[in-house]
Structure 1
Amino acid sequence: MEVRWNEYLSRNGSLFSSDELSGASPPSVFVGSYGYPRVGVGPMVPPVHGDTSLMDAPERWAGRPLDEIVNYRLSLVRGIRKTRVTGTSGRYIEGLQEAAMSRRPVDSDIRFEKPVSPAALADGCCAPFGPVGEIRRASFGGSSADGAIERAYYDRDLGAADAAVALYDGGTEISRIQGCLSVGMLGRRRKLVPTRWSITAVDDMVSKRLVGRIKDAPVSDAHQVFHYVHMGNLFSVVLFPHRWLFEMMEAYYSGGVLGFGADHEDARGLDHAPATAGAHFASRLAVAEHLCGRGVQAGALVLREIRAEYSVPVGVWQVREGLRAAMAQKPFVAGSLDEAIDEACRPMSISRNEWLSHGSIMRLVRQRTLSEFF
């Protein structure tokens, strides 16, 4: 990351010598978590005008190289103003809400207290961004409200989960819904939600509703395997005939040591904070979405191998979008679960035995259910 920052600074030195910025926000608003319940909230704005929407559109990033996405994000200057999370009214926050509601990039003029500083964030949950500066004054213009988001915003009788699902069902991108929740636009008792929390919350709320829909669907009769590789992440998805059962596993090297994370759930849902954190909910959303589209339920095993090429964490979005891309491919059709798991592990550097020794899927599948005794 430091090398990229040096390159970026040499190309864009003027960004750091001025306390003013004019550009088109994608639109994008970021709510921090440091100091909660008094947090830094503000727009993310590049020093350019025009169509900047790609800079904050994870749904359009699958297949793009890591360096390209990092460069998009380093171009976004984050303005902050300290605000209590319960402060969802007032000219400043309402301006941010109008920006988050917009269908197109929003012209933004920012005056900072002092020149912005290069303090890039890359925390594994949120996509990174560039310099940060404390806002003295901000103005926004040229927005055009998205009708579906506007309706959800003005419906204060609709709970946050119901609003998120209604927007999703209407075709609003998950990343847009996450931004709306973050800046206090959804639900009955509204407040600002740190961006890293809103990302996981929306993935959780929407995927939970999708899982509820497929529980009454017929069980799939096929063993299918999907693969996808992007930005140093190798994904394999196994879908097999079973009532809803889901396990997400990650493998990664840290300090030369191979580490694993794994979480599983059945129809009762998840009963603990997942070791794989937001990746569990992001992957569950992608899988449940695919099954809903097919009108079936199934057991699912997701394997994610994180390789050294994934040198800069760009956010949990890449799990969701990577798996969406995987299941858009033509699957390998296996004759059994064992054959499907063999195929899932085939392109990976980690063996089948290593994966299975850290997971629970085979034990769960082999457990007898009460129905077998009747």
Structure 2
Amino acid sequence: MGKSGYAQRDLIKFNFANLDLKGLDFFGNSPPAVFVGRFGYPKVNVGVLSPTQKEESSYLMDNPKEWAKQGLKDQDILKLRAQLVNARFQSSVKNFDSRLLDLSQEVGMAHKPVDMEISLKNKPKNLLKMENVAKPLSNNANVKNIKLTENPKIKTVVDKTVSDGDMKSVEGLYKLYNKGMDENFLSKILSIGLLGKQKNRRLVPTRWSITATDDTLGKELLKDIRFYQEADYQVYFSGYLGNFYMIMFFPDIWGFELFEMEVPLKTNPWSKTGNFYGTDYEDYFGKKGYVEETAGGYYACRIGILEKLSELRKQGAVLVFRFITNEDKFPLGVWVCREATRISLRNKVPLDFEDKESLMNYVRAKIMKDFRVDANELFKVSKLMHRNSKQKRLASYI
């Protein structure tokens, strides 16, 4: 979910100064970045993103992990994204017989900026579009031609994985993830139709591929985590770009529950029951169906949690409260949830507690002081806390 200030709109328009583009042709360097739209499916727009001149900072224009690492503010990120032209063309999601699509796939596989010449059919529209899932997208223009002026730099493991037409997409995603590829790269090559069995490959709208990547990686991590010993009573807390995460670990079998709320509190537009929060839950066996109230933020938060448990070689019941403050001014994409969760979990010395009650007392005091939120209202409706109170242990499931 996102703030109610922009929750009712799927798209926000934010204008910047015009691009310095004299004609319809330019020489730039893609970060590298591609974008697959969803409108008109199964015939969609495919775009190659590039600044209108060669920029040393090009790599930073499509790099959420680096944005978080550098602590970039929202305006910094918007200005980076506003420099990109989305040079787009139409394609069927199944028919890959297109030179421009082949070129887009090459760009999508690259791990360093790719120099290119781009010819457009029309001037880019001076518009930056923002939504809750994908990163901000700017300056749409129909493309006449794209010519790569250098060979894209593609890692051998990526080339081999993409060339394997017998490998399932789940296997390909997890293999590359374990080789150090991040979600931004993985969702990109999934969206551009480069993973999965050859006969099943197709374009996947970027918005869908982001959530699919987070969900797939999470499920794969869980296969090992379910066999680890139980975690300790621990609390992690921090945030990024106005999104703060209170993360509670309880010694128990795997379970995950996320509550999201805007502070100061107001009715949550995604809540099915008119509450101030949206919430979703999964038990030891995983999420059944798609989340109802917390959308892609659920999977983005969960992947960060599972990475931490994998690092600790522990499993546990994990309860998360997300507080969306007034510092969150623009919908920048679900990557904010993923990176804010990781930042919160980065503390190598978390708060440890002897028992559940002392942990809960700390959380009650902390979120009342910081956000004026009564934790008891969340604890009493938490499915995970209800399950936890029954003390159904790991031995019951194995």
What is the TM-score normalised by the length of structure 2? 0.87
CA–CA separation in structure 2 for the residues paired with 1:243 and 1:140: 51
Residues 259 and 280, structure 2, Cα contact 8 Å, conserved in 1: yes
- In the TM superposition, residue 268 of structure 1 has moved relative to its aligned partner by 1.2
CA–CA separation in structure 1 for the residues paired with 2:331 and 2:101: 29
- Aligned partner of 2:289 in structure 1 is 272
- Given residue 158 of structure 1, which amino acid in structure 2 is its aligned partner? M
| Runs ≥4 residues deviating over 6 A | 1-4
- In the TM superposition, residue 66 of structure 1 has moved relative to its aligned partner by 1.4
1:254 to 1:269, Cα distance in 2 relative to 1, 3 A: same
CA–CA separation in structure 1 for the residues paired with 2:118 and 2:14: 23
- Aligned partner of 2:247 in structure 1 is 237
Indicate yes or no: 2:298 matched with 1:283.
no
- In the TM superposition, residue 5 of structure 1 has moved relative to its aligned partner by 4.3
Structure 2: 5+ residue stretches without partners:
1-5, 269-275
CA–CA separation in structure 1 for the residues paired with 2:132 and 2:237: 22
- In the TM superposition, residue 254 of structure 1 has moved relative to its aligned partner by 9.8
1:187 to 1:13, Cα distance in 2 relative to 1, 3 A: closer
- Given residue 317 of structure 1, which amino acid in structure 2 is its aligned partner? W
CA–CA separation in structure 2 for the residues paired with 1:235 and 1:151: 38
Which of 48, 53, 63 is the matching residue for 1:43?
Answer: 48
Residues 127 and 315, structure 1, Cα contact 8 Å, conserved in 2: yes
Counterparts of 1:111-150 in structure 2, within 5 Å, are 111-142=119-150, 143-150=152-159
- Given residue 45 of structure 2, which amino acid in structure 1 is its aligned partner? G
- In the TM superposition, residue 190 of structure 1 has moved relative to its aligned partner by 0.5
Which of 192, 209, 224 is the matching residue for 2:203?
Answer: 192
Counterparts of 1:314-353 in structure 2, within 5 Å, are 314-329=332-347, 330-344=349-363, 346=366, 347-353=370-376
- Given residue 111 of structure 2, which amino acid in structure 1 is its aligned partner? R
Residues 235 and 326, structure 1, Cα contact 8 Å, conserved in 2: yes
CA–CA separation in structure 2 for the residues paired with 1:5 and 1:278: 23
Which of 79, 83, 108 is the matching residue for 2:87?
Answer: 79
- Aligned partner of 2:273 in structure 1 is none
Give the stretch that moved more between structures: 246-255 or 283-292.
246-255
- Aligned partner of 2:387 in structure 1 is 364
Give the stretch that moved more between structures: 103-112 or 166-175.
103-112
Give the stretch that moved more between structures: 195-204 or 321-330.
321-330
- In the TM superposition, residue 255 of structure 1 has moved relative to its aligned partner by 10
- Aligned partner of 2:185 in structure 1 is 176
For these two proteins, the number of residue pairs brought into alignment is 367
CA–CA separation in structure 1 for the residues paired with 2:389 and 2:111: 49
1:3 to 1:40, Cα distance in 2 relative to 1, 3 A: closer
CA–CA separation in structure 1 for the residues paired with 2:12 and 2:338: 28
- Given residue 295 of structure 1, which amino acid in structure 2 is its aligned partner? R
Which of 240, 244, 247 is the matching residue for 2:257?
Answer: 247
- Aligned partner of 1:55 in structure 2 is 61
- Given residue 237 of structure 1, which amino acid in structure 2 is its aligned partner? I
- In the TM superposition, residue 272 of structure 1 has moved relative to its aligned partner by 2.9
- Given residue 292 of structure 1, which amino acid in structure 2 is its aligned partner? S
- Aligned partner of 2:323 in structure 1 is 305
Equivalent position SS for 1:184 = coil
1:290-348 CA distance string (max 9 Å, x none): 11111111111111111122111111111111111111113111222233234345133
Equivalent position SS for 1:249 = strand
Equivalent position SS for 1:237 = strand
1:163 to 1:13, Cα distance in 2 relative to 1, 3 A: closer
1:205 to 1:224, Cα distance in 2 relative to 1, 3 A: same
Fraction of identical pairs, as percent: 28
Equivalent position SS for 2:218 = helix
CA–CA separation in structure 2 for the residues paired with 1:61 and 1:95: 27
Equivalent position SS for 2:238 = strand
Residues 75 and 129, structure 1, Cα contact 8 Å, conserved in 2: no
- Given residue 145 of structure 2, which amino acid in structure 1 is its aligned partner? R
1:160 to 1:120, Cα distance in 2 relative to 1, 3 A: same
- Aligned partner of 1:19 in structure 2 is 24
What is the TM-score normalised by the length of structure 1? 0.92
Structure 1: 5+ residue stretches without partners:
none
CA–CA separation in structure 2 for the residues paired with 1:319 and 1:344: 20
1:254 to 1:162, Cα distance in 2 relative to 1, 3 A: farther
Residues 122 and 312, structure 1, Cα contact 8 Å, conserved in 2: yes
1:264 to 1:4, Cα distance in 2 relative to 1, 3 A: closer
1:251-306 CA distance string (max 9 Å, x none): 12699545311111112111132121111111111111111111111111111111
